[in-house]
Structure 1
Amino acid sequence: MSAPESGHRATEASQDEPTNFTFDHSQHRDSHYRRVPADVEKQDTPMSQSSASGISKEEEEEQAAQDLENNKERQENLRPTSTHHSLHQTNTNVSIAETLSLPRECMFVACICLAQFMTQASLGQTLAILHIIGDAFGLSDPAELSWLIAGYSLTVGTFILVAGRFGDVFGYKRMFMIGFAWFGLWSMIAGLAVYSNHVLFVFARVFTGIGPAICLPNGLAILGATYAPGPRKNMVFAMFGACAPGGSIVGAAFAGLFSLAWWPWTFWSFAIACFAIVGIGSLVIPDPPRKITQKWNTLRELAIELDLFGGLIGIIGLVLFNFAWNQAPIVGWQKAYVYVTLILGVLFILAFFYIELRVASAPLIPFSALNSDVSFVLICIACGWGCFGIWIYYTWQFLELLRYDTPLLATAQFAPVAISGALASVTTGFILAKVRPAVVMIIAMTCFTIGVILIGTAPVGQTYWAQTFVCIVVIPWGMDMSFPAATVILSNAVKKEHQGIGASLVNTLVNYSISIALGFAGTVEVHVNNGGETDSDELKGFRGAWYMAMGLAGLGLATSILFLFKGLWTDRQMARKRVAAAA
């Protein structure tokens, strides 16, 4: 039981009990005490009452026995155990985090942050050796290779909402552990695909994405339920976001090293690390109480509470929509199944919104929390992280295919991302409580825009220390300022019973935006690269994709500026109302 809950129950108990009581000191010495109401102590005995009323002896004895039983029952109800006593001494304002020792809190936060770290490490490890994996399976078409990245991000973004609801119902810690176990299992299968073909590898990568989809929202929900709103909570969320760039670099570095021997060890070693996290996390992560605790008599009632029908419709819609955009660059839009899939995806997504708004009794998305401020933030996140997905994929291709860098050298060139991202996250943790969220978003979107413009205009023969280095330093500020800000805003906007859902919305947009933006960029690339037969044509295709990213970043920047003006206008109107009320 968490400290806040304990204090709440103690308060309720004390309100129901009489306030006048005396202590039974023999019980108090053993940390138990008996509350005996003063009016019971002063109560006349049954004999004195019967004498005054002149009733018969039999009636006197019967009345005395009844009164004695009633008094005993009342005293039993008022006698709490030592546990009950401790509840009355609990401070209702103490968060779960404040009850943990410092070493355990550090290990607990580290385990939760590993969800973000490992999610990005899994992305980075595949990105770094993408062409080595492609050569092993005989894949050379860039559009086919992009599926190895987009498929993983697709399932990460698609299943997060459902996973967040499962955490609300079955417990955040339990789902967090299940997510890492799943993560490790399918990473191991991805390595074993070397004995089969690329179909199994793509299948394994798609299913691997379900693991972080479970870990991310439930890890963030654990943090949201463990820490009270304030600077400490802001800093913890900032640390969570800071792990993203470092995770991608570490994953890419180990992939480059293992590829020197045999690339499947990249995924097998990753699986071992996931299973180790399961063991350590089960010991150090606190288990916040479930926010939805009622019992279900039938599977139908459970399905309604989980909103399985709405979740299934939403997953189908997102998968179909994403599949159409990522498949079109490979086979072309002239294939009927591509645009049919796109139309069906749009219809399923519309059906999902209808179900959530009109049908579902326990919708996956708390639309009551989606006020205009939250909506502005989510649009910024979608644009900014879509830009990031295009930037990181095509920058890796630019370094390896046009500048002919090895995976390890390209990883070394990306290494400043980790340092810059950590600084951005710490800075964000300090300033979130001091400036408007709109200001944080403007800075983040500006960094996304500047970063992609720098790489999008960089000449192939230019030194790394010019535009490439600067963009690698700038982009993490967009990532690690937008993510913590949005997470804190959503976590504080929704009720505690919806912490998993609030965390899910941010992560859904982050990862789904990466995947769908790659589909958009791939479509642009294949239409402008003239088949990509020469380095010049390949560069033309990359620049087309980067221009797409510039448009997304610019849209995010414009939205964040509108967000700021809206906030200023709202504050001005509120000030006028206060002045009018005072007058």
Structure 2
Amino acid sequence: MADLSRPGSSDGKNPSRSSMYKSRHISLQSRVDSLASMDYSGRDSIVPELPATPTSSEDEAPQHPPLNINAFHETLFIGVCAVSHLMTQAALGQALAPINLIADSFNTRNPGEMAWFIAGYSLTVGTFILISGRLGDIMGHKRIFAFGYLWLGMWSCFAGFTPYTKHQIFFDFCRAMQGIGPALLMPNALALFGRAYPPSIKKNLVFALFGSMGPVGFVIGASCSSLFAQLTRWPWAFWSYGITAFVLSAAALLVIPKAVGTKPPKESRPGFDWTGSLLSVAGLVLVNVAWNNGPLYGWGTPDVYFVLIIGLLCLVGFVWVELRADSPLLPVHALNGTATFVLALIGVGWGAFGVWIFYSWNFLENVRHLTPLKVSAEFTPVVICGLVAAGLTGFMLTHTPISFVMMMSMIAFFVGITVAGTQPVNQSYWAQMFVSIVIMPFGMDMSFPASTVLLSNNMPREHQGLAASLVNTVLNYSISISLGIAGTVETSVNHRKTDPASLLWGIRCAYYTGIALSVVGVVLGAIFFIRSMIKEGWKVMDH
């Protein structure tokens, strides 16, 4: 193996990628920034450090203009952007915790209909992330970010009024529209941070803070919605959430510095792929609707399989258009075998997580008959475990191969859902459920950064910013699809019966579906690790 510590070294296969492991920055955005400075022209040398004044407008490096704000203003700026991740996960927990009380408002306990309370939200979060990032590049990240909070608040309030309509489908529609808000928020929040801070310890801390908001947000959302549902009425959880989003929208306009939030000059704005965007949204939505309506109406119903066929045709058309587009939404030609492998791992791993979170809550509320507030309290360890997992992942990414981190995350998904799926009904919380809740955050917080870095390593310079968006898209979409698959299994085995024995058997089989997905993840993760060991050996990023 060539000496990678010297400029001009090469592994004989891909000289640019052999040098990608020389980054000294641990955070994801710093990693992307350092990758963007590498030479992707195919030469065997690393580009030397350039002077501050760029030599070419076309190759000009991303600028980090001075913020010119005081420490208090900067704290507000970081807070309003980081809280977007908290709000994203809080919206997931606010419908999951009181899910039975919400279902009672619409006179339903059909598992397929209840799954839509979660699946509809995850569907649109995953579907619109790629589009919203491009809109931010064209119209300005501050503008799209503030609008994302406004949109989120508006549809959250609409969701709170749905009990008066007595129509569960309208609530599902509001949840789907609500999911567009986080899709507008997250990629543009990351872009604002990326423009505000050059690679530094401060940037590492800011991005670490953003990542740590996820589990905190889920617990806050679940706890607050449980409290409102048990003490007053569950719509107050959505109304209070909507008011908070409106306040954050106004705060975003006031505290985000003008230096990082301005609209780019017209000559430097990227084009927008309208055809590809329409086909991608139509295909992803139709395929997801078919998968989640299968448990409700049966796969033999023409409305279900025709929607699935049309959705698949739209996705095929999307790939065809992207291969020929001047400004593709998704550069298909940039996705090599490694990138496809990584996205497959994210899909099955987070699909298992989606089954785990939905059916663990279902098991605790409907089988052990716990209140939503008590279940929320039982899930509080994910806050601490998420922070520990984030720190451990930062250490592992700089001391072990990234493929090893990815394999370990798949093992964590497998162990976590297996422990939860095999627990007896009459058992102490501490015996298995607590263990599962402790383990599962390691799968979440190890797979996301590892997969983002791996995609960055295997994508050209001009598409480095796409890595995190792709991971987020596959992550959220796989949660929604897996719930449709598990719901199909559940309704097939219990024949839609609601007696305790049938209910338990349906949940068990849904768990087994998630376990099967996690087994696929472990197998693929092991193959990926072995393949990378054969190809590169025990290769780690320098730190």
Q: TM-score, with normalisation over the residues of structure 2?
A: 0.82
Which of residues 148, 151, 158 in structure 1 aligns to 2:120?
151
Shift in CA distance, 141/572, structure 1 to aligned 2, threshold 3 Å: closer
Structure with the larger RCO, 1 or 2 (CA within 8 Å, 6+ apart): 2
Distance 1:380 1:104 in 2: 40
Distance 2:430 2:451 in 1: 32
Distance 2:211 2:538 in 1: 34
Pairwise CA RMSD: 3.0
Which of residues 262, 272, 276 in structure 2 aligns to 1:310?
276
Contact 1:386/1:516, CA 8 A, preserved across alignment: yes
Residue number in structure 1 paired with 2:147: 178
Deviation at 1:367, TM superposition (A): 3.5
Residue number in structure 2 paired with 1:71: none
Letter in 2 for 1:355: V
Letter in 2 for 1:199: I
Which of residues 130, 134, 151 in structure 2 aligns to 1:165?
134
* 1:119-518 map, 5 Å: 119-197=88-166, 198-228=168-198, 233=203, 235-259=205-229, 260-286=231-257, 288=260, 293-295=265-267, 305-357=271-323, 359-367=324-332, 369-490=334-455, 498=463, 501-518=466-483
Indicate the larger mover: 393-402 or 304-313: 304-313
Residue number in structure 1 paired with 2:53: 11
Shift in CA distance, 415/136, structure 1 to aligned 2, threshold 3 Å: same
Deviation at 1:312, TM superposition (A): 0.4
Indicate the larger mover: 443-452 or 553-562: 553-562
Contact 2:141/2:263, CA 8 A, preserved across alignment: no
Letter in 2 for 1:214: L
Shift in CA distance, 295/106, structure 1 to aligned 2, threshold 3 Å: same
Partner of 1:288, secondary structure, is helix
Deviation at 1:434, TM superposition (A): 3.1
Instruction: From the two aligned structures, give the one with the greater helix fraction.
Output: 1
Letter in 2 for 1:207: M
Indicate the larger mover: 440-449 or 101-110: 101-110
Deviation at 1:495, TM superposition (A): 6.9
Contact 2:92/2:218, CA 8 A, preserved across alignment: yes
Which of residues 463, 477, 488 in structure 2 aligns to 1:523?
488
Deviation at 1:373, TM superposition (A): 3.4
Distance 1:401 1:393 in 2: 12
Contact 1:218/1:500, CA 8 A, preserved across alignment: no
Indicate the larger mover: 310-319 or 424-433: 424-433
Distance 2:263 2:536 in 1: 34
Shift in CA distance, 479/434, structure 1 to aligned 2, threshold 3 Å: same
List structure 1 segments (4+ residues) > 6 angstroms apart after TM superposition.
7-10, 97-100, 289-292
Contact 2:157/2:239, CA 8 A, preserved across alignment: yes
Distance 2:453 2:194 in 1: 9
Contact 1:168/1:500, CA 8 A, preserved across alignment: no
Residue number in structure 1 paired with 2:28: none
Distance 2:458 2:193 in 1: 15
Give unpaired runs (5+ residues) of structure 1: 17-91, 297-301, 575-583
Shift in CA distance, 140/424, structure 1 to aligned 2, threshold 3 Å: same
Shift in CA distance, 492/240, structure 1 to aligned 2, threshold 3 Å: farther
Letter in 2 for 1:161: L
Letter in 1 for 2:466: I
Deviation at 1:384, TM superposition (A): 1.2
> How many residue pairs were aligned?
486
Distance 1:561 1:484 in 2: 18
Partner of 1:459, secondary structure, is coil
CA deviation vs aligned residue, 1:291-348 (integer Å, no higher than 9, x gap): 974359xxxxx9x921011110111111111111100101111211111111111111
Give unpaired runs (5+ residues) of structure 2: 1-33, 35-48
Shift in CA distance, 450/130, structure 1 to aligned 2, threshold 3 Å: same
Distance 2:365 2:157 in 1: 26
Shift in CA distance, 292/381, structure 1 to aligned 2, threshold 3 Å: farther
Shift in CA distance, 100/443, structure 1 to aligned 2, threshold 3 Å: farther
Contact 1:152/1:209, CA 8 A, preserved across alignment: yes
Distance 2:65 2:351 in 1: 35
Partner of 2:466, secondary structure, is helix
Bigger Rg, which one = 1
Contact 1:127/1:396, CA 8 A, preserved across alignment: yes
Distance 2:265 2:395 in 1: 36
Distance 2:471 2:518 in 1: 17
Letter in 2 for 1:350: V
Distance 2:66 2:211 in 1: 19
Shift in CA distance, 339/468, structure 1 to aligned 2, threshold 3 Å: same
Deviation at 1:169, TM superposition (A): 1.4
Distance 1:573 1:474 in 2: 26
Contact 1:526/1:541, CA 8 A, preserved across alignment: yes
Deviation at 1:553, TM superposition (A): 1.4
Residue number in structure 1 paired with 2:16: none
Distance 2:400 2:246 in 1: 40
Distance 1:464 1:285 in 2: 44
Indicate the larger mover: 421-430 or 145-154: 421-430
